[in-house]
A and B are shown apart, each in its own frame.
Chain A
Amino acid sequence: MLRLDGISRHFGGLPALDGVSFTVPRGRVTALIGPNGAGKSTLINCITGADQPTGGAVVFQGRDITGLPAHRISRLGIARTFQNLRVFPRLSVLDNVLCGLTGQGGQSMIMAMLRLPSLRHRERLLRLRAMAALDCYQLGDKATWPAAILPYGDRKRVELARATVSRPDLLLLDEPVAGLNADETAGVGEQLKRLRAGGHTILLIEHDMTLVMEIADQVVVLDSGRCIAVGTPAEVRRNPVVLEAYLGQTEACA
Chain B
Amino acid sequence: MSVGRRQQLLYFLALHRTGLLVGLLAAALLVYPCLQDNPYTLGLTNLIAINAIVVLGLNLFIGYTGQISLGHAGFFALGAYGSAIATVTAGLPPWPAIALVALLVGLIALAVGIPVLRLTGHYLAMATLGFNFVIHTVLLEWDEVTGGPSGFSGIPSLAVGQWAFDSEIRLHYLLWTVTLLCLLLSLNLVRSGVGRGLAALAGDETAAAALGVDTRQAKIKVFVLSAVLASLAGSLFAHSFGYLSPDSFGIFTSTDLVTMVVIGGMGSIWGSLFGAGLITVLPEWVDLFETYKDFVHGTILVLVLMFLPQGLVSGLVDMIRIRIALQRTKNAAA
Contacts and interface: CB of A to CB of B under 8 A. Distances in A.
A97 to B, nearest CB: 10
Interface residues of B, number: 35
Given A98-B196, A109-B221, A48 B203 contact: no
A162 B211 contact: yes
Interface residues of A, number: 45
A74 B321 CA distance: 32
A100 B221 CA distance: 21
B200 A70 contact: no
A89 B195 CA distance: 16
A149 B322 contact: yes
Interface in A30-78: 48-50, 69-71, 74-75
Interface string B189-224: 101111111011001101111111111000001100
A80 B210 contact: yes
Contacts of B325: 142, 144-146, 149
Contact of A113 (B188, B207, B215, B326): B188
B185 A70 contact: no
A179 interface: no
Nearest to A100: B211
Interface string A100-127: 1111111111001111000100110010
B225 interface: yes
A112 B210 contact: no
A149 B326 contact: yes
B195 A102 contact: no
Given A48-B210, A71-B214, A113 B200 contact: no
A142 B204 CA distance: 22
Nearest to A70: B209
Contacts of B225: 109
Given A113-B189, A149-B322, A88 B200 contact: yes
Given A50-B206, A75-B212, A91 B193 contact: no
Interface in B206-246: 206-215, 221-222, 225
Contacts of B222: 109
B310 interface: yes
Contact of A102 (B186, B204, B206, B211): B211
A43 B208 CA distance: 19
A71 B209 contact: yes
A109 B203 contact: no
Interface in B157-212: 185-186, 188-189, 191-197, 199-200, 203-204, 206-212
Q: Which 8 A-B pairs have the closest CB atoms?
A: A105-B193, A112-B192, A88-B203, A70-B209, A86-B207, A115-B188, A74-B212, A112-B194
14 contacts: A70-B206, A74-B209, A79-B210, A82-B210, A86-B204, A90-B199, A90-B267, A99-B196, A99-B197, A101-B193, A105-B193, A105-B194, A113-B188, A162-B211
Given A82-B206, A113-B192, A146-B318, 5 more contacts: A86-B207, A87-B207, A100-B211, A103-B211, A105-B197
Interface of B: 185-186, 188-189, 191-197, 199-200, 203-204, 206-215, 221-222, 225, 267, 310, 318, 321-322, 325-326
